[in-house]
Amino acid sequence: QVQLVESGGGLVQAGGSLRLSCAASGRTISNYAMAWFRQGPGKEREFVGGISWSSATTYLADSVKGRFTVSRDNAKNTVYLQMNSLKPEDTAVYYCAAGSRSGATRKEDYVNWGQGTQVTVSS
């Protein structure tokens, strides 16, 4: 089992940027598809973006396309979420997840989760 720890969250003004990191331990993430989800206040956890094990394919939710980028560094066992042009509606706890199926967007497809990091965007 792989353990995941997110970092990089915080408070930022609308239009600003943040980069979240997800550091893995216990196992290498090189064989996993990785993804980011978020859960806003009173909302369901939703898919944000994902990346295949080789970084050949990335996929993003429509709500963040053109603003967010997912990347990974398998040598560092770390996944990143670069968030630009942040909006108040991006406020949420952001979670990193590892799974076996590239392209999966359902939370049920991921078995390993981090504890989350809070992102708050002020208007």
> What are the pLDDT digits (tens) for 9-40?
999 999 999 999 999 999 999 989 999 999 99
The pLDDT, as a whole number, for residue 54 is 83
Please list the helix, strand and coil fractions of the chain in percent, rounded to the nearest 5, in that order: 10, 50, 40
DSSP state of 67: T
The pLDDT, as a whole number, for residue 68 is 98
The pLDDT, as a whole number, for residue 64 is 98
Q: Residue 81's pLDDT band (boundaries 50, 70, 90)? A: very high
Q: Which two tokens stand for residue 2?
A: 């792989």
What is the three-class DSSP state of 51? strand
The pLDDT, as a whole number, for residue 56 is 82
When pLDDT is averaged across residues 32-57 and rounded to a whole number, the result is 94
Q: Give every CB contact of residue 49 below 8 A, 6+ residues apart in sequence.
A: 35, 36, 58, 59, 60, 61, 64, 68, 69, 70, 81
Q: Residue 53's pLDDT band (boundaries 50, 70, 90)? A: confident
CA 120/CA 92 separation, integer angstroms: 7
What's the chain's average pLDDT? 96
